[in-house]
Structure 1
Amino acid sequence: MLNDKPSIEKLRWIMSELRNPETGCPWDLKQTFVSIIPHTLEEEYKLSRYSY
Structure 2
Amino acid sequence: MKKERLAAFSDAVLAIIMTILVLELDKPDHITWESIFNLRVNYFAYALSFFG
Length-normalised TM-score, structure 1: 0.33
**Structure with more relative contact order (C-alpha pairs < 8 Å, separation 6 or more):** 2
Larger Rg: 2
Q: Name the one with the larger helix percent.
A: 2
